[in-house]
């Protein structure tokens, strides 16, 4: 069964450093997403991406964050100047369509900012 | 602020017991309700996506119902097995923003004892 793959599975970074989280969505999916879960809290929407541009972003997704689809397969989340509160599990997801289709999630990247 | 509530927070049952959980969501501008099954260290797995009031979906021993007028969905597991142990997440989207932005509940953590 097709999977969404995320790398790395764990990343530890120093406060102020930049990190790039990588995702390979399912090849025939058109919509891509980033979500995150801070420990003990709900899974939160960050951004959705369609047709090579951001279609929606949450209040969390400020200028510190950016997404890119640098080639036909990868979908990346960049966090500039990381803060302690950015520590979370970051999930990438993709879907065939916006209406009525479930998302396929990756297994996440655990980001720890120290 | 749109909020999704799930109850109970956690549940411990014996193998063979049937069980159910609740997801409550805002009933206005409803678009879709998703259920996901999330095992530790794995990706959240889509179980159901429901869009119509009165929808009932079934996948093996798991089924779900949807009431969009009163804003709730039930997930039922018949004859629970140890492999059903996981966190069950529901997520809702509405017409207010982009339909791709899922708002998650905190999940119900199910433990099934052999």
Plot region of A94 (φ>0 → left; ψ -120 to 50 → alpha; else → beta): beta
Looking at per-residue pLDDT, the higher value among B113 and A101 belongs to: B113
> Within its chain, how far is the Cα of B94 from the centroid?
16
- Nearest-CA distance from A84 to chain B in Å? 22
Closest in A35, A98, A105 to B99, CB measured? A98
| End-to-end CA, chain B | 41
Choice between A86 and A102, residue whose per-residue pLDDT is larger: A86
Beta bridge partners of A35: A45, A91
Q: In the predicted model, what is the mean pLDDT of chain A?
A: 93
> Quick one: tokens of A93?
């997801």
Rounded Cα gap, residues B29 and B95, in angstroms: 5
Span A18-68, pLDDT tens digits: 999 999 999 989 999 999 999 999 999 999 999 889 988 999 999 999 999
What pLDDT, in 10s, does the model give residues B76-109? 999 999 999 999 999 998 876 555 689 999 999 9
* Model pLDDT, residue B29: 83
- Among chain B residues, CA nearest to A57: B101
Residue of A nearest to B6 (CA): A42
pLDDT computed for residue B94 by the predictor:
81
Query: Are B99 and A101 a contacting pair at CB < 8 A?
Result: no
What is the pLDDT at residue B100? Answer: 64
Residue A8's pLDDT band, with cuts at 50, 70 and 90, is very high
Across the A/B interface, how many CB contacts are shorter than 8 Å?
Answer: 63
Q: Of residues B32 and A99, which shows the higher confidence score?
A: B32
Query: Considering chain B, what is the average pLDDT of its residues?
Result: 92
């Amino acid at each position: 069964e097709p999977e969404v793959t995320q790398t790395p599975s764990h990343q530890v970074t120093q406060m102020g450093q930049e990190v790039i989280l990588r995702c390979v969505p399912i090849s025939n999916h058109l919509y891509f997403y980033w979500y995150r879960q801070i420990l003990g809290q709900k899974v939160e929407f960050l951004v959705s991406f369609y047709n090579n541009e951001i279609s929606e972003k949450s209040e969390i997704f400020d200028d510190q964050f950016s997404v890119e689809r640098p080639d036909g397969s990868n979908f990346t989340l960049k966090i500039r100047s990381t803060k302690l509160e950015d520590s979370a599990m970051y999930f990438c997801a993709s879907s065939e369509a916006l209406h009525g289709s479930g998302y396929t999630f990756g297994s996440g990247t655990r980001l720890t900012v120290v | 602020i749109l909020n999704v509530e799930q109850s109970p927070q956690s549940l411990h049952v014996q193998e063979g017991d049937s069980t159910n959980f609740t997801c409550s969501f805002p009933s206005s501008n409803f678009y879709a309700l998703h259920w996901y099954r999330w095992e530790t260290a794995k990706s959240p797995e889509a179980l159901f996506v429901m869009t119509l009031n009165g929808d009932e979906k079934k996948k093996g021993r798991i089924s779900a119902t949807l009431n969009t007028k009163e804003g709730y969905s039930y997930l039922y597991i018949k004859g629970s097995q140890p492999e059903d142990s996981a966190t069950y997440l529901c997520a809702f989207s509405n017409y207010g923003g982009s339909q791709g932005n899922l708002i998650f509940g905190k999940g119900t953590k199910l433990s099934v004892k052999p």
